Amino acid sequence: MASEEQQPQQQPQQQPQPTKRRNRIGTKNKDLYKWEPTTYELNESSYATQEYIQDRIRMDETNIDAILRAPEGHDVNVWLYEQIRQFTLELNHFSVLFKDICNQNTCPKMKATDDWLFLCASHPAIQECSAIDYFIHTLDSTSATLNSEKLFPKRMEIPPSSAKQFNSIVRRLYRLFAHAFYHHRELFNDFEAKTQLCKRFTQFGKDNGLLPKSAIIIKE
């Protein structure tokens, strides 16, 4: 009597595990953030857009078009929001470089050229601030605005009324670059050569109508 031929059982196909995007304790500086970039469409994290932008920066800081190009079909306001969050993060790193050269004695007023004096809006009444205080106040108030549960309750859905905040935020952040360019040129040039942050920020502002030509005072 012929026995039935047994068919080999197929093993269930294992789904690829998502890359763990974290730096372990003790990781050397040269090995930080060395995970593989995640395809945006396959990234189910609530921080997918932020991770997408940061991946592109790590891949090539000089490829500004790639960093500023949103994935196809991406919500415009969410994209602008996440880009501004990233710029704010990088500008915080930038501002740390000024602690030894920009203070209330060297830069008592927040100026770019002699024709441009910027008043600080981070007070009950607009007033003059030293340049370094303007840096700190502007970055702190920007972070507070972007983290406001009233204005931005969800990072994956930005109300049109809240998106109106972007224009004033971008104009004020640009002034930080302008002060650095005209008063701390060596530091500005060194940082810009490494990151092209000002060039990327300016292109972002112009491309999205957030930075009018009249506000652009840094020579290219």
Max CA distance (Å), the chain: 103
Question: pLDDT-derived band of residue 162, with 50, 70 and 90 as boundaries?
Answer: very high
pLDDT above 90 covers a percentage of the chain that reads 67
Task: Show the CA angle centred on residue 216, arms to residues 211 and 79, nearest 5°.
Answer: 30
> Is 5's pLDDT higher than 70?
no
Q: What is the mean pLDDT of the chain?
A: 85
Average pLDDT, integer, range 119-124: 89
Residue 203 pLDDT exceeds 70? yes
Structure confidence at residue 39 as a pLDDT band (50, 70, 90)? low
Asked if 56 contacts 86 with a C-beta cutoff of 8 angstroms, the reply is no
Kindly report, residue by residue over 52-111, the tens digit of the pLDDT. Answer: 999 999 999 999 999 999 998 899 999 999 999 999 999 999 999 998 899 999 999 999
pLDDT band at 32 (very low <50, low <70, confident <90, very high): very low
Q: How confident is the model at residue 122 (pLDDT cuts 50, 70, 90)?
A: confident
Three-state SS annotation for 107-131? CCCCECCCCCECCECCCCCCECCCH
Cα(84)–Cα(149) distance, rounded to whole angstroms? 17
Q: Indicate whether 212 pLDDT > 90.
A: yes
**What domains appear along the chain, each with residue ranges and CATH number?**
39-215 (1.20.140.30)
3 state SS for the chain: CCCCCCCCCCCCCCCCCCCCCCCCCCCCHHHCCCCCCCCHHHCCCCCHHHHHHHHHHHHCCCCHHHHHCCCCCCCHHHHHHHHHHHHHHHHHHHHHCCCCCCCCCCCCCCECCCCCECCECCCCCCECCCHHHHHHHHHHHHHHHHCCCCCCCECCECCHHHHCHHHHHHHHHHHHHHHHHHHCHHHHHHHHHHHCHHHHHHHHHHHCCCCCHHHCCCCC
**pLDDT of 33 over the 50 cut:** no
Lowest mean pLDDT among 27-41, 93-107, 155-169, 199-213: 27-41
